Amino acid sequence: MKIAILGECMVELSQQADGRFNMGFGGDTLNTAVYLARNGGQCDYFTALGEDEYSQNMMLNWAEEGIGTKQIKVYKDCLPGLYVIKNDDDGERHFHYWRQNAPVKQLLSRSPEVFQELQRYPLVFLTGITLSLFNDEDRELLYSFLSGYRENGGIVAFDNNFRPKNWRSMNHALNNYKRMMSCTDIALLSFDDELELYGEHTVVDCIARWQNGGANEVIVKRGAEGCVVASDDSVEVIHQEHVVKPVDTTSAGDSFNGAYLANKLNNKSIQECVKAANFCASVVVMHKGAIVPREINLVLGQQ
């Protein structure tokens, strides 16, 4: 079974210890696609790129990872977004983005056939960052599609991945997250992002908000503290069995999502999905960079 993942990947310039920059690529949904594939899942990536060499290199790399690229739109008059990661004297990372004219921002209006193509997949995954890419009119088209998609039996999985700078105001973000709740089946939530969005509250409050909003499977990610999982009328804490000292948490949530969805596609129980996802994330955070080398085992039970 193959799922659809909707989002953006950008060119990445990352500062090294000697002050020079390495070029790569990155994006939350793309990271999830990579880790889903490495955990045995299959997906097609939905985004838009240009005809430039950087876009072409991205697609070649994704194909090597086993990610489907047939649904990617190519606009010859566009270049992909760019971001720079700089490190300060204390080792803290600072991000600077040039994405205002990224081709993916035009995807839903310029290529409306995307909605018909998405309809063919049993599950669609997207994030809060995906939502923030589009203007209000295109987001309304997306919400309308997702509502109908669910009514026709499709499953929507959503990671709250909240970036305040991507929204024109907090109220604007909150209104859109509320709309997205009503379109979500599986909520994969970072509790830190929930606190940033809604202020101080408990995990129980968080679960109730998303269940009342429409989600029927809620996973609250709390890092080393493990996850709280709510499905139907049951709530369960699943502890992180592989507690480590993180080196780089950039892809902690993304790798969790990839492993969780890959196991979901293999008809594993929620508990099995979370345990596999916890393991994958615990390995990923022990390495620098969003995408760890391919030779590293990320599959629980194969170590």
Residue type, position 57, single letter: N
Which among 101, 102, 82 has a CA at the least distance from the CA of 21? 82
The one-letter amino acid at 299:
V
Asked if 287 and 280 touch (Cβ cutoff 8 Å), the reply is no
Phi, psi of 182 (to 5 degrees): -75, -10
Which residue out of 44, 159, 193, 254 is catalytically annotated? 254
**Alpha-carbon gap, residue 28 to 104, rounded angstroms:** 14
Distance CA 210, CA 228 (A): 13
**Does residue 254 have an active-site annotation?**
yes
Query: What's the angle, vertex CA 256, arms to CA 58 and CA 267, rounded to 5?
Result: 105
The residues annotated as belonging to the active site are 254
